[in-house]
């Protein structure tokens, strides 16, 4: 719908009106806007003449809104707030020529990598840089503008966390490893096969914790092999070298392709949450909003 600019009052009187209404004082508005008392009074008279209604009335040494002024004030406030958000958005856009997305290396390799071409097609004007070299699991604001992390602790107040994936822990392996078995297996049967352990994840989920959560006592010692990333464990699992324990969507594509299977029905609830994490001051940045919506859509495909 086209805007009829003839019906919109000039901006300066609207600003003077908002401040005078909020402070209930012409003098206070003049001080806040660094103008003279007569200048603010003139702005208010111009606005009242333009609208054809009286917006203020005397109230002792101060002023207060008339019924018409009280009706008009929320519209002016909303319009000025929207304009301010637009200005801030432009400033953020200038500060962020590109978006740096932090993600755990295995999530980057096993889930994000195959989907980024879709993002580029959908948002060709957004320069997205994937950062997957962070050694820790915490969000690193010095290296990224937004992240997909697994967190077991509350975020700092200046960060917003948006839940992305269910935190569910379950084993996967190659179908050829269990070619002689009838599926699904009991969790205890997995102890007869090599269990692949990931050193970087032992504080978040582990085989011992998984069995405890399911209530299965470990009555026998399993053969284990420890690697440093889940990406390695998943490659070994797909090759029939053992059973890997996963949390999140990192085995999703391999299961769909038949390279990996879930040998048992049971799963345990993870102790943390998969989150999109973003500094709150960047939330109004349109490319950040687009990336958040895209990630949420991909997570529910």
Q: Give the predicted TM-score (pTM) of the model.
A: 0.66
277 lies in the same domain as 265: no
Rounded Cα distance between 271 and 65, Å, is 54
> In terms of residue numbers, what domain contains 30?
5-95
Q: Is pLDDT at 193 greater than 80 in this prediction?
A: yes
CB-side exposure of 32: number of CA atoms within 13 Å?
16
Rounded Cα distance between 256 and 91, Å, is 43
238 lies in the same domain as 209: yes
pLDDT confidence bin for 97, thresholds 50/70/90: low
The stretch 168-195 carries a mean pLDDT of: 95
More confident residue, 6 or 18: 18
Q: Would you state the pLDDT for residue 95?
A: 55
Residue 287 sits in a domain whose CATH number is 3.40.190.10
pLDDT digits (tens, 9 = 90+) for 234-273: 999 999 999 999 999 999 999 999 999 999 999 999 999 9
89 lies in the same domain as 103: no
Query: Domain ends where: 95, 122, 152?
Result: 95
162 lies in the same domain as 175: no
Strand-pair partners of 156: none
Q: Is pLDDT at 136 greater than 70 in this prediction?
A: no
Query: How would you classify the pairing of strands 99-103 and 146-151?
Result: parallel
pLDDT confidence bin for 8, thresholds 50/70/90: confident
Q: Is pLDDT at 107 greater than 70 in this prediction?
A: yes
Say which DSSP state 10 is in. P
Query: Domain ends where: 95, 127, 158?
Result: 95
Residue 228 near residue 200 (C-beta atoms within 8 A)? yes
Q: Is pLDDT at 201 greater than 90 in this prediction?
A: no
More confident residue, 96 or 78: 78
> How far, in Å, are 14, 64, 146, 288, 294 from residue 121 at the CA level?
42, 54, 20, 16, 12
31 lies in the same domain as 69: yes
Rounded Cα distance between 193 and 177, Å, is 9
Q: What SS3 state is found at 281?
A: helix
**Strand (E) positions, 173-272?**
195-198, 224-227, 243-247, 268-269
Query: Domain ends where: 95, 130, 150?
Result: 95
190 lies in the same domain as 256: yes
74 lies in the same domain as 190: no
**What are the backbone angles phi and psi of residue 75, rounded to the nearest 5°?**
-70, -40
Rounded Cα distance between 177 and 269, Å, is 26
17 lies in the same domain as 35: yes
73 lies in the same domain as 116: no
288 lies in the same domain as 161: yes
Rounded Cα distance between 164 and 292, Å, is 10
Report the percentage of the chain scoring pLDDT > 70.
95
pLDDT confidence bin for 184, thresholds 50/70/90: very high
Structurally, how many domains does the chain consist of? Answer: 3
Strand order in the sheet with 243-247: 224-227, 195-198, 243-247, 168-172, 268-269
Residue 65 sits in a domain whose CATH number is 1.10.10.10
pLDDT confidence bin for 90, thresholds 50/70/90: low
Lowest mean pLDDT among 55-64, 227-236, 243-252: 55-64
Element (H or E) spanning 264, and its range?
none
82 lies in the same domain as 19: yes
91 lies in the same domain as 117: no
Cβ neighbours of residue 264 closer than 8 Å, sequence gap 6 or more: 170, 171, 184, 185, 186, 187, 190
Q: Would you state the pLDDT for residue 181?
A: 93
């Amino acid at each position: 719908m086209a805007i009829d600019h003839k019906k919109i009052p000039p901006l300066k009187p609207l600003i003077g009106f908002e401040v005078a209404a909020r402070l209930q004082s012409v003098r206070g508005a003049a001080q806040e806007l660094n103008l003279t008392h007569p200048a603010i009074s003139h702005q208010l008279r111009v606005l009242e003449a333009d609208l054809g209604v009286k917006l203020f009335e005397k109230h002792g040494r101060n002023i207060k809104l008339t019924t018409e002024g009280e009706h008009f004030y929320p519209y002016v406030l909303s319009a000025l707030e929207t304009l301010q958000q637009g200005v801030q958005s432009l400033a953020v856009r200038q500060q962020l020529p590109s978006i740096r997305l932090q993600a755990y290396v295995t999530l980057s390799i096993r889930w994000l990598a195959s989907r980024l071409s879709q993002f580029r097609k959908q948002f060709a004007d957004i320069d997205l840089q994937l950062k997957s070299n962070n050694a820790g699991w915490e969000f690193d604001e010095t290296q990224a503008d937004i992240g997909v992390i697994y967190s077991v602790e509350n975020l700092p107040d200046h960060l917003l966390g948006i839940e992305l994936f269910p935190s569910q822990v379950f084993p996967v392996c190659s179908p050829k490893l269990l070619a002689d078995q009838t599926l699904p297996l009991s969790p205890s049967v997995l102890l007869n096969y090599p269990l692949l352990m990931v050193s970087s994840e032992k504080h978040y989920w582990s085989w011992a914790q998984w069995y405890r959560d399911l209530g299965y006592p470990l009555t026998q010692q399993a053969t284990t092999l420890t690697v440093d990333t889940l990406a390695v464990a998943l490659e070994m699992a797909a090759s029939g070298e053992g059973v890997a324990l996963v949390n999140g969507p990192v085995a999703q594509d391999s299961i769909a392709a038949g390279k990996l299977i879930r040998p048992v029905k049971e799963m345990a609830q993870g102790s943390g949450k998969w989150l999109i994490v973003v500094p709150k001051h960047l939330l109004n940045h349109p490319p950040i909003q687009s990336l958040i919506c895209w990630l949420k859509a991909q997570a529910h495909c």
